[in-house]
Every structure is written in structure tokens, then in C-alpha cells.
Amino acid sequence: MSSETEPSEPAGGWPLIVALALCQLVSYGSIYYAFALFIAPMEAELGWSRTSISGAASLGLLVSGLCAYGMGRWIDRHGGRWLMAAGSLLAVVLLAAWSRVETAGGFTLVWFGLGVVMAATQYQALFPVLIRRYRASYRTRITVVTLIAGFASTVFIPLNHVLIDALGWRQALVVLALGQLVVCVPVHGLWLRDGGPAGGTPVPQAAHRPAAGPGPVRRALGTRTFWGLVLCFSATSLTNSVIAFHAVPLLDERGFTPGVAVGAIALIGPAQVAARLAVFAAGRRSSTVAIGRVALAVLPVAFAVLMLWPGSVAALFVFALAFGGVNGTMTIVRATAVPDLLWREGYGAINGVVALPTTFAHAAAPIIAAHMWTTFGGYDTVVWAMAGCAAVAAGAFWFAVRSAATAG
């Protein structure tokens, strides 16, 4: 790992990267992945509808996307230390407040705040920090972070289940709040030091970066590369969201037993981690362009397999492995495409603009899929539509790469 680190890069090194990755694991595990396990006990105690409970989480996702640009600009100018520390403290307060909610309005306000927390503390905030701090080795460090944080669902889904069974859902949330306080607040507030000018030795940037002129966001908006990436990431976000929210009813409709369905879904997480480990092992021998092209070529094929052999257990498991592997590698591509294909200047703000349409796609996808299921009387049309989205994503990425090359 040290071979990728420039001598002039700031101190902190790999122990700090591991600590930041653990913060991501705790943050995703106690907010994003925790939500699904709290739906049923909240329904049982409070009598709220599943729609109203899920609607609060959708609002949080939208708020996260809306905040991404402003927070990205803050990180570009001031670093992420105080923003991420404040977000972690707010997470402690809001998880504790969630444990005391009695009204749907209060719950919605909590998730509005958690949307701000996610924008301030999760990948969308951390990746600009790493790219800003480690100019020569950011891709390796991002890969390590995603490797560790990729176990968030593996660790926290069973952990949250045990906590809810043992303590009840309200006290389980108090434990999650304490986890934020003990792990995330000290790392972000006391250990992370990234204020002032971006660190590291400058390395060659995309050849087509202009030397002067409009700000980095305005320059990006004027490139075909930027819009190709927006279309690519929005399409992949849509497919990921549909699978996340509709996998269980889709497989039930296909006649798979609950055991087979759960087993297939459980493969997605390890496949993500395995793919990221392969990227890490490849190191500098691979590039964002190569990784993205391969992953996005596989995705439409995976959906076609699911469609062409609808009752095959083998085909289902092939799909799960392929989908997980693509999802794992695309997290890295999503983080590194802007600095590799455009430029690093203003990365946080540019990435924040990219995040807005992708967040809307992520939030709208479950509703779109449900409407298609109702209209067409089954999931076949949904799956073919996802294959089409995957093909669009692949084409958009190729377009973005070609545009970057010709602009240079």
C-alpha cells in the first residue's frame, strides 16, 4: 500500500484511513441499513402505515441529495473535519430523538435531519476529503474505505436484529446513538485534520482542464463528459434501488422459496467486497476507465440472465454475484470518475451536483417499479426495463470516456 503514497502527502496514513472506514461502517449500519429492521416494530407499536414510515426515509434520501452540493463546496474550501464532526454529533442527537418519537410528524423531522447527517458524514462527504488530502493515492485509499465499509450490512443487519429482539426498538436506537458518539465523533473531530489548502503532491490532471476561466462547476456543466457521467450514475442508481426494494417480491413472484431468495440476496454483499478487493489487488494496473467499462458491460447481461431463465436457481445466483460485483466496483468508479475524467479542482461541489439527479433516481425508482408492476401485472417488464437502464448506463459511460479523450 505504501508504494502508492507520495512522500509529501500529509501525515495520518493508513491508521486514519481504517478509522474513517470504520466510521462509514457505523454510519451506514446505524442509519441506512438499520431502517428496514425498525419498520415492523414501529408499525406494531405506533400503528403507522408502512407508506408513511417509508416516506420519511425517502425524504431523508432526497434531503441528502439536495445538501450534497453545498457540503461539497464547503469541503473544497475548508476541509471536512468540522462538517463531519458536526454531522456525527447530529446523528447522536437524532438517533436518540428517533428512540422517543410518538408522532409521524416528529419521525419525519428526524429523517429530514438524518438526510443532512448522511450528506455530511457518508461517502458523499468522505470521498472529497480523501481526494483533497491524498492527491496521488486517493483511488487506493477510497478502495480500502469501501472494502471495510462494505461490511456494514453484514455486521449491522444481524446486530440490529439482535438489539431489537433483546432491548426493543427504542433502546436499540439508543445503542446505535452511543456507537456514533464513541466511534464517529472522536475520529472526525479529533483525528481528521484536513483544513487549509489541499495536501499532497500535484499529479497530472485531465489534459482538457482549462487553465483559467469560469469556476470548476460551470466548466464541468459545459462538458459532455459531465453529462455522460450524470446519465450513467443516475441509471445505475435506479437499477440498484429497484433491486434493493423489490428483490423479495420479485423472487416470490418467480416461485423461489424464501430460503433461496434470502440466500441469493445475501450473496450481493460478499460479491461487492470481493470485487473491491480485486480492484485493490490490481492497484495501478487498473484504471477507472477499465473498471467502469467492464462492470457496466456485465450489468445488462446480468439482468438478461435473470429474465431469460426466470425459474433457474443457478441463473439467480449468477445474477446476484454479478450484480453485487458490479455494484461494488461502481462505488469506486463513482468516486474517482470526476477527478480522473475531468479535474480535481472543485471535486466536492461537482460531485454534489452529480449526486442530485442520482439521488432523485434512487428515491423514485421503487415507486416507478411498483407502478410498472401494477400496470403490466408482474415484474417481467420491470426486469427488462432494468436491463435497458443498465445498457443506457454502459453507453453513457463510454460516451463520457470518449468525450474526455477527444476534449484532451
- The secondary structure of 332-393 as a DSSP string is HHHHHHHHHHT-STTHHHHHHHHHHHHHHHHHHHHHHHHHHHHHHTSSHHHHHHHHHHHHHH
d(CA 57, CA 94): 13
pTM of the model: 0.79
d(CA 67, CA 45): 32
pLDDT in tens, 305-361: 888 898 889 999 999 899 989 988 998 888 888 888 888 888 888 888 888 888 888
pLDDT given at position 201: 41
pLDDT in tens, 138-196: 888 888 898 898 888 778 878 888 899 999 999 999 999 999 999 999 999 998 887 65
Distance of CA 94 to the CA centre of its chain: 21
Over residues 60-85, mean pLDDT: 89
pLDDT in tens, 355-366: 888 888 887 887
Over residues 236-257, mean pLDDT: 82
Nearest to 230 by CA among 336, 326, 338: 338
Only one residue has cell 461502481, namely: 330
pLDDT band at 200 (very low <50, low <70, confident <90, very high): very low
* Percent of the chain's residues with pLDDT above 90: 35
Amino acid at 351: N
Mean pLDDT score across all residues of the chain? 85
pLDDT given at position 82: 93
Higher-pLDDT residue of 208, 56: 56
Asked if pLDDT for residue 29 goes beyond 70, the answer is yes
Asked if pLDDT for residue 7 goes beyond 70, the answer is no
pLDDT given at position 197: 53
pLDDT in tens, 100-128: 999 999 999 999 999 999 999 999 899 98
